[in-house]
Structure 1
Amino acid sequence: MRETFDIIVIGSGLGGLVCATTLAKEGHKVLVLEKNQQYGGNLQTFARNRCIFDTGVHYLGGLEKGQNLYQYFNYLGIADKLRLKRMDRDGFDRITFDNDPNEYPYAQGGENFVDQLCRYFPNERRGIEQFYTAMQNVCRQFPLYHLNGKDAYRWDEELLGLKVYDVISRCTTHPKLRAVLAGANLLYAGIADKTPFYVHALSINSYIESAWRCINGGSQLAKLLIKEIHKHGGKTLKYKTVSQFNIADGLLQSVSTTDGNTYRAGTFISNIDPKQTLRLIGDYPIRKSYTSHIRQVENTISSFSLYIVLKPGQVPYLNNNYYHFKDEASVWGNIDYREADWPAGYMVSMNAKTENDRWAEGMTVFTYMRYEEVAAWSATYNTVAAGSSRGNGYEQFKRRKTEIMLDELEKKFPGLRKHIRATYASTPLTYRDYIGSETGGMYGFVKDANQPLRNSLPPRTKIKNLLLTGQSVNMHGILGVTICAMLTCSEILGRDYLLQKINETEM
């Protein structure tokens, strides 16, 4: 293909699609290259027994008109086209424990968040308010979180080095409340002695503002963004695995794909794992400290996910998620599980089919799983675009883990097994193959408050016209990746100009 583009985006995860949509809207000739059959990365969905399951998007925050994600999506042209179901205002997330009948709620709205928790901890109002205020204060330190173009980013090491575990401990000495305030840390693979407080605040606060499920799955985001890209003259191609960067004179001139095609552009944006990007750069000489930095960064843990198709009309639809743990210690200890104790905790989410669901069609459960548990099959690859069998041993492994997980779910949902029509499982290898992270990491790179600047990457690389975007560059999650994509685009368009355009878009 001899056509030349202004921008080529490699990978069609949310970050890549947001970049491509933004740049196409602003008049650039854009091409998106995707290796898989389906666009979207973690936005992908799949259907089993006519039941739609999300691979990564279980719920969204900040999508009420005027809130941050709504404003970004409104600029992108998709906010009013999304089919959404608002989750339970008084408990969109519920934190639960074995041998404790209480379901501790995370409610929508700051005052409601505090009030609902105070029903269970009436003597802890001051600590709960202090914790919520601390989240608000941290969010204010990130200008793009509030679409604020006036304030500059200040990489305050004291702020970035603040640990969520320590903040919670300062707010309350109540052991159960401490566990509840940390209970949604599966959203970011929290590590007690590492995870910065800003990761928790930016992840949780947008859901407290408003929490939503995507009706019939999050792939609608990818489909809508693709339509916007095409509307503004951009192109998208599937089954295009980039196999080589062609670099000369310090610039990326073109990329080659495994099917023998070459694509040229003035600027390139990589939305794939930065470690994979580094491999594509190959032996081209760039600063060793930069390459060593990327190679040594720790990946977040991966997961085992169980997708349950339920028999019709038997299990009531629950308009909230559950974060369930064996005990208070498991809230932080879950990530360092012993195989004999697995799973120490899990998240449960139900699929939304309509705005007025009475019965659940499907249930998704995920828990942590280390890559080493599936390392025996690491030489195998299996996607829709390039499928192959991993063998009987792998299938037996999944069946064994499925039975263990179902045993745990029966404790929380007695009698669940009799309502199950079918189950399907995915492991770190599934995430590795579809998302491109070398060990199937759920949330990109580990953020470490002990070394706050180590594991974040700037959008610009040591190749002048190669930029990065995606969850490994800055923050994960729908909002985090969207903001990261806007930071990447601002390297091309200018931050002040881009924020002005976003803020001027009519609601």
Structure 2
Amino acid sequence: MKQTGLVIGGGLSGLFCAGFLALLGYRVELFEAAPRLAPVVRGFWRDGWYFDTGFHYTSGLGEGGILARVFRFLGIADALQVVRLNPQGFDGVRFKDGEEFLFPAEVSELRRGLAERFPADAEGIGAFFNQIDRVCNGLPMLKLKPRSVPDAEVENAWRCSLQTVINKHIRDPRLGRLLSLHCLLHGVAPEHVPFAVHAGVAGLYYRGAHTLRGGGERLVEVLRATLLSLGVNVHCNAQVTAIKLRADRSIDGVCLQDGREFVGRHCIATLHPHALPGLLPDKALRPIYIRRLRSLQSSGSACCLFGYPKRAIPQLEGRNLYLEFDSANGQAPIYLTRGSGEAHSGVIAICPEVETDWNIPDYRERKRQRLVEIQQAIECHSPNLARDICWVDGGTPKTFQRYANAPVAGLYGAAHCLDQVNPQPRTRVEGLFLAGQAVVAPGLLGTALSAFWACQEMCGDQRLREGLMTCQ
């Protein structure tokens, strides 16, 4: 008789968990509170334009990459069209004074380009990227290996910040801003993010960046169809209100808001860690663990503008664009993208926000003012580019919090930063495991890796790892 695996949350982490468990032989019940799966990632349509709110580009989809292996193992690779972003420059950066720089998808070319632009820092550039490569290559989580004691350099990289490493090797302030620009990929400032986290995230993008034809919407629909074909029972509009325990304090099942109950001895919760204690009976978790979960800092959030291009925008064809401002004026870089770059792809401008609490009485007016400020910043920085875009809507941290059904705002859930310890997949409740961006790493790759580790811990053997390693 098949064991039942209960998965709470129908975002990408939940979808990957459900797929892994089904392939491992579990009977899977997947619960999503929203009317549709993965509401943030799937994006939305407006007047014939598609806005890819949650999936813009990713690493790990090149030949032999981790995500490529996951897609093939789940049987979705042939249904998805991978699009490589411009290898000569997958990300462009434009400074306020008009200077531009392209990030090529090849580490040696990136190092050469930076050394030509900043010759006085050539030696430091080499040292910085050598350290990025060594740490990235040494992270067990990226090699799907069982957790083990890492080498000394990797261990130290968890204890020092990205900014510390930049200060050690780099003198030019503009170069320092370029090297910390991709903090947007994990939502933690360079002075707070462990160098190991940044190396594991940005280091893989430097080796190749990809997107998917059809964007997040296509990915979610393919995953949904695959789960149904594997026999996964998908429940939308299904808010889990409680996790039931047996007398021995092990998992017994879940209760839904509509009164339904589901029995199962294994459960993976992919929700924000802040919400977990509220689903469990008193004393199921140690008080110190509850305090740790509830004290987890949130990753940075953002305000977004959504618009459509009035004509072709060469700067956004096959690449994304960062508008970099003088750091003295306090304006964070603004990231612009057209996602997969199809004819119907809208333009999204993302501006990181320091303030994440938008539950204020005059919310609508504050939202209007902030979106106008961002639009004006773009017009001031790059007036020609601004004239090619018609902005039609926007969102705030509160918007993303609502769509993600999260207790706090944050683009990547709980942050991975120096002064906190994020939860591991296994909990002290027998049969209860955690997955999501807060557990392993942020982004699409982080959701897949967290699902892998949670399911690997649950099944208790190497079947999942062995299956992934055979997928080329």
TM-score range, shorter chain: over 0.9
Q: Corresponding residue for 2:148?
A: 152
1:461-506, Cα deviation, whole Å (9 max, x unpaired): 222111100011221111122111111011122353321111113x
1:256-276, Cα deviation, whole Å (9 max, x unpaired): 111221111121110111111
Give the superposition deviation at 1:314. Answer: 5.0
Q: Corresponding residue for 1:87?
A: 85
Is there any run of 5+ residues in structure 2 with no aligned partner, and where? none
Give the superposition deviation at 1:213. Answer: 2.3
Q: Corresponding residue for 1:120?
A: 117
Which segment is superposed worse, 229-238 or 213-222?
213-222
Q: Corresponding residue for 2:358?
A: 374
Distance 2:390 2:166 in 1: 41
Which segment is superposed worse, 196-205 or 109-118?
109-118
Query: Matched residue of 2:291: which SS?
Result: helix
Give the superposition deviation at 1:281. Answer: 1.1
Which residue among 346, 365, 369 is the counterpart of 1:362? 346
Aligned residues: 468
Q: Corresponding residue for 1:337?
A: none
Q: Corresponding residue for 1:195?
A: 193
Please show how residues 254-269 of structure 1 align to structure 2 within 5 Å. 254-269=253-268
Please show how residues 11-410 of structure 1 align to structure 2 within 5 Å. 11-40=9-38, 42-99=40-97, 101-148=98-145, 152-154=148-150, 157-249=155-247, 250-311=249-310, 313-316=311-314, 317-327=316-326, 329=327, 343-354=331-342, 361-371=345-355, 374-376=358-360, 393-410=362-379
Aligned-partner residue type, residue 19 of structure 1: C
Q: Corresponding residue for 2:392?
A: 423
Q: Structure 1 pair 116/372, CA: closer, same or farther in 2 (3 Å)?
A: closer
Q: Corresponding residue for 1:501?
A: 467
Q: Structure 1 pair 314/69, CA: closer, same or farther in 2 (3 Å)?
A: closer
Aligned-partner residue type, residue 48 of structure 1: R
Q: Is the 8 A contact 1:14 1:41 kept in 2?
A: no
Query: Matched residue of 1:32: which SS?
Result: strand
Query: Matched residue of 1:500: which SS?
Result: helix
Q: Is the 8 A contact 2:251 2:431 kept in 1?
A: yes
Distance 1:238 1:44 in 2: 15
Paired-residue identity, %? 25
Q: Structure 1 pair 94/420, CA: closer, same or farther in 2 (3 Å)?
A: closer
Distance 1:248 1:155 in 2: 41
Give the superposition deviation at 1:193. Answer: 3.1
Give the superposition deviation at 1:422. Answer: 4.2
Question: Are positions 1:436 and 2:405 aligned together?
Answer: yes
Q: Structure 1 pair 155/268, CA: closer, same or farther in 2 (3 Å)?
A: farther
Is there any run of 5+ residues in structure 1 with no aligned partner, and where? 331-340, 378-392
Q: Is the 8 A contact 1:244 1:280 kept in 2?
A: yes
Give the superposition deviation at 1:394. Answer: 3.3
Aligned-partner residue type, residue 144 of structure 1: M
Give the superposition deviation at 1:125. Answer: 2.9
Q: Structure 1 pair 67/325, CA: closer, same or farther in 2 (3 Å)?
A: same
Give the superposition deviation at 1:138. Answer: 0.8
Q: Is the 8 A contact 1:370 1:428 kept in 2?
A: no
Distance 1:350 1:411 in 2: 21
Which residue among 455, 459, 484 is the counterpart of 2:425? 459
1:32-54, Cα deviation, whole Å (9 max, x unpaired): 11111221254221111111112
1:231-259, Cα deviation, whole Å (9 max, x unpaired): 22211111111112222320231211112
Distance 1:495 1:225 in 2: 25
Q: Is the 8 A contact 1:5 1:264 kept in 2?
A: no
Q: TM-score, normalised by structure 2?
A: 0.92
Q: Structure 1 pair 207/303, CA: closer, same or farther in 2 (3 Å)?
A: same
Distance 1:233 1:318 in 2: 39
Q: TM-score, normalised by structure 1?
A: 0.86
Give the superposition deviation at 1:373. Answer: 5.3
Distance 2:391 2:175 in 1: 37
Aligned-partner residue type, residue 469 of structure 1: A
Q: Structure 1 pair 79/273, CA: closer, same or farther in 2 (3 Å)?
A: same
Q: Is the 8 A contact 1:106 1:117 kept in 2?
A: no
Which segment is superposed worse, 425-434 or 224-233?
224-233
